[in-house]
Structure formats: structure tokens, C-alpha cells
Amino acid sequence: MTQIVLLVLGGADANSGRVDPQSSVASRLVRVFSFFTVDSNVLVAMACVGLALGPDRDGRVWRALRLTSLLAILITGLVFVTVLASKVHLSGAALWCTIAFHYVAPPATFLGWLVFGPRGQTDRRTLAWSFAWPLGWIGYTLVRGATTGWYPYPFLDVGALGYPVALRNVAVVLTIGAVLALALRWIDRLLARSPGPPEELDEGTSSYDEAKS
């Protein structure tokens, strides 16, 4: 909410540090919600509300939302710290926003998932669906950038880098995401494992499902 107020008033964007008072409010709002950072934080908020309303909820869509939000926010934190932090210079309310977006939300979301779960919801199909939104975001970003010339992140700026470099950067981020997804599945299965010899789970089936049957 603070970021939206800043943009409406012509303040700095907490994601890039840019100030663009010449653009319309509508244009600034579209741009802020075109950042992977903002969208991933929105997904986390949706997942947290879902958990608050029903801690034991389950279902294909819910599993995808929960894992997508966790995976996306971890990517947000890693990419910002390793690639973008040195390029963004902020102060005041915008600085506090970027701290919340990039330094607080990722570890807090991960710790919340470790402590509260829910467990056993990272089967192979859910892992595959967890990449639907990131891939859709990449497609949207490249198409919108080609038509407007605006890209949310410098490592995706086709105008400055060209398609080969920009697509290589996309591939690197997706590879990191795949490694994170596999690590999350391994951690989830480890925490969900009951005492005794581990049982091999069928594709699309989790220990959570077996516990309910």
C-alpha cells in the first residue's frame, strides 16, 4: 500500500528507484504490478490469507498457489540480493518498502512454510504447475517490452542487451528456480515423513493424501 501511495504522489519506485512524474498514475500502477517482486509478494499475501482461513486446506489449485508463492518470493530475494541491490538507491518510505519486499518477505515466508506447512503438498504435478505463473510473467514481460520499450529489470532489457543475452539471463533464473523447487520438495518430503521405512510416493500423490485416506 505504501508503494502505491508513493507512486500516486510521484515518488520513487521501491523496485527500481526510478522517479517518473511525467507518466500518468495509471501507467505507473501498471508498471509497478509488472514487477516480479510485487507480484510474488501479492501471491504470498494470498497464500497467507488462505492459510489463516483454512490451515488444513488442500486441492490442486491451492497447492500450486502455495508452492508458487514460496518459490517466487525466494527467487525475488535471491535475484535482488545478488544482481539488483547495488543498482537501487533509495531513501525514506521507498527504502522501507524495498527492505520489506526483498529482505523481510523471502526469509519470513520460508520460515513460515518450514514451521507451519502444510506438509506433503509438493508432488511432481504441483512442482510443474508452480512454474506456470513465472513462465506467464516472462512471456508478458517480453511481449510488453517489445511493444513499449519498458522492461522492469535491467537483465531483461532486450533493447539494451539483445534477445540472446536477455534469454540467457531468463534461462539462468529458471534454472535457479528449478533447483529451489527440487530442494523445497526434498525438504517437504523429509519433514512429512513418518517414523519407519519411507514409502515411495506415486506421481501426483503426497504423504498428506495418504494420511487423509
**Stretch 4-33: mean pLDDT:** 62
Cell of 98: 524495498
Interatomic CA distance for residues 118 and 58, integer angstroms: 9
Interatomic CA distance for residues 120 and 192, integer angstroms: 6
pTM of the predicted model as reported, rounded to 2 decimal places: 0.77
Mean pLDDT over each residue of the chain, to the nearest integer: 81
The larger pLDDT score, comparing residue 196 to residue 62, is at 62
Q: Are 170 and 79 in contact (CB under 8 A)?
A: no
Interatomic CA distance for residues 41 and 77, integer angstroms: 11
- How many CA atoms, within 13 angstroms, populate the side-chain half-sphere of residue 164? 0
Q: Are 82 and 103 in contact (CB under 8 A)?
A: no
The larger pLDDT score, comparing residue 39 to residue 18, is at 39
Nearest to 127 by CA among 52, 69, 178: 178
- Work out the percent of the chain whose per-residue pLDDT is above 90: 39
Residue 23 has what pLDDT? 64
**Stretch 163-172: mean pLDDT:** 95
Residue 201 has what pLDDT? 47
Cell of 144: 510488453
Query: How many other C-beta atoms lie within 10 A of the C-beta of residue 155?
Result: 18
Grid-cell match 518470493, residue found: 73
Q: Which amino acid type is present at position 70?
A: L
Residue 199 has what pLDDT? 47
